[in-house]
Amino acid sequence: MADRDDVGLDDGAAVERQLGRLPRGSWSVAHRCPCGLPDVVETAPRLPDGSPFPTLYYLTCPKAASAIGTLESSGLMREMQARLAGDPDLAARYRAAHDDYLARRDKAAAAAGVAPLPQGMQTAGGMPERVKCLHALVAHELAAPGVNPFGREAIDALPEWWADGPCVRDEPEGETR
């Protein structure tokens, strides 16, 4: 885990432009888009003031986020939720994704030198009992391939968001593509 100043300027500037603001707390690049820019960051589970920040993997690419938003509005999460309720094997794999997220978040806390989050604090995306946010599930699957079954399904359903070029470029402040 690195503070913004410890991350390469290109990554820091890209994430700042992607988010439209400085990223909060301590973070590192967890996955890179095929265009080469960060698209998922791993965040420390506590902000500098000690307050909890349970989102370990955060999707930063606005093009990917937009494409995922389209999937969410299509009703895909309702379909996934229905399958989760009726498929014990899928439910077990989703529970394993939740457990993986907890373990990785605790490891990130140790690496950042902060107290782990309390037992029972949510992970991401509604895990393990709901399908609530595909952005979080996709971020988890991109950062830890093969772990999150719904994240994988969503990735497989996405268009190639990077195909027409990176979401941000080295341009004057305030100008992004």
- Give me the residue spans of the domains in the chain: 4-157
Full-model pTM: 0.89
C-alpha span between 146 and 140 (Å, rounded): 10
Residue corresponding to tokens 């000690």: 50
Q: How many CA atoms lie within 13 A of 50 on its CB side?
A: 1
pLDDT tens digits for range 29-82? 999 999 889 999 999 999 999 999 999 999 999 999 999 999 999 999 999 999
C-alpha span between 21 and 139 (Å, rounded): 19
